[in-house]
Structure 1
Amino acid sequence: MDDRRGQAADALAGRRVLVVEDDPFISSALEDMLREHGCVIVGAARTVASALHLAASEQIDVALLDVSVGPERVDPVAELLAGRDCPFIFTTGYGRAGLPEAHASRAMIEKPFYADEVIDALRCALRRSAKA
């Protein structure tokens, strides 16, 4: 294990993560990767309704939000998390222009993404949240 991955594992160990992703293959890969880095998956939502339920009822340290969840947009989930001061990162294949207008300056990872990008983005989001 290289030092950078070790640092990522330390920073993420025990962190409670919400994954909102409608593609079962991407969701499963994200969950596996996050668990490898010591994260606790509080839920993997494939619908906006499920994501809203989890975001409202679970303790979440950070979330990964696919901008388009099936035919719906993730905007209400982003609003709920922002209201709880919970950091989140958008994942999208549509670029920054596809982000919810109210959150256009938030962190984003463009699909297809690499594991290191996701881990680095999570670490940055948690670091920024800790400073706030």
Structure 2
Amino acid sequence: MPENPRASGSRRRVLLVEDEAMIAMLVEDMLDDLGHELVTVASRLDEALAAAKTGAIDVAILDLSLGGVLTYPVADVLAQRGIPFVFATGYGSSGLKEAYADRPALQKPFVQQALGDAIALACGT
């Protein structure tokens, strides 16, 4: 079970890249329950790229596909900045390009425990 961020002081600032409003609201509630802070929700690739380039974030959750547009360019920016990230996709890790196969992936739909575990894994805790 992941540590409680509120108790351990490991509250993380999260970028969420997600184009479905209901899913974004659900993930926001999960993050809050886990003790993390959602700082930005990006529903389009240009918004996600801007947030990834300049945002004050500790970790990102990336929907692999925003209306059919893959979010690998966002992952590239985050990797260059040294910011950990998790992919969220209906295909799980088997749907990722080989270059990203070592990154944590959440298979949609996912539960809060899985989200917490994936964030902990991505952040190395």
Question: TM over 0.5: same fold?
Answer: yes
The 1:93/1:7 distance shift into structure 2, 3 A limit, reads same
Identity, % of aligned positions: 41
**8 Å contact 2:4–2:35 — kept in the other structure?**
no
Retained in 2: the 8 A contact 1:16–1:62? yes
CA drift at 1:36? 2.2
Q: CA RMSD in A?
A: 1.9
Q: 1:103 aligns with which of 83, 94, 100?
A: 100
SS at match of 2:91: coil
**Partner in structure 2 of residue 25 of structure 1:** 22
Tell me how far apart the structure 1 counterparts of residues 15 and 9 of structure 2 sit (CA, whole Å): 13
Q: How many Å apart are 1:60 and its aligned residue?
A: 1.1
Q: TM-score, normalised by structure 1?
A: 0.85
CA–CA separation in structure 2 for the residues paired with 1:17 and 1:92: 17
Q: Which amino acid aligns with 1:65?
A: L
Are 1:115 and 2:116 counterparts? no
Letter in 2 for 1:77: V
Give the letter aligned to residue 96 of structure 2: L
Partner Cα separation in structure 1 for residue 121 and residue 7 of structure 2: 13
CA contact (8 A) 1:66 1:74 kept: yes
- Listed one character per residue, the Cα deviations across residues 30-70 of structure 1 (whole Å, up to 9, x for unaligned) are 01111222212120111111100111111110110011111
Aligned residue for 1:16? Answer: 13
Structure 1: gaps (5+ residues): none
Could you say which residue in structure 2 is the equivalent of 1:44? Answer: 41
Q: Secondary structure at the match of 2:94?
A: helix
Q: Distance in 2 between matches of 1:86 and 1:79?
A: 10
Distance 1:5 1:105 in 2: 20
Structure 2 counterpart of 1:57, from 54, 64, 74:
54
Q: Normalising by the residue count of structure 2, what TM-score does the alignment of the two structures yield?
A: 0.89
Structure-2 change in CA distance of 1:94 and 1:5 (3 Å) = closer
From the superposition, tell whether residues 5 and 94 of structure 1 become closer, same or farther in structure 2 (CA, over 3 Å).
closer
3-state DSSP class of the match of 1:33? helix
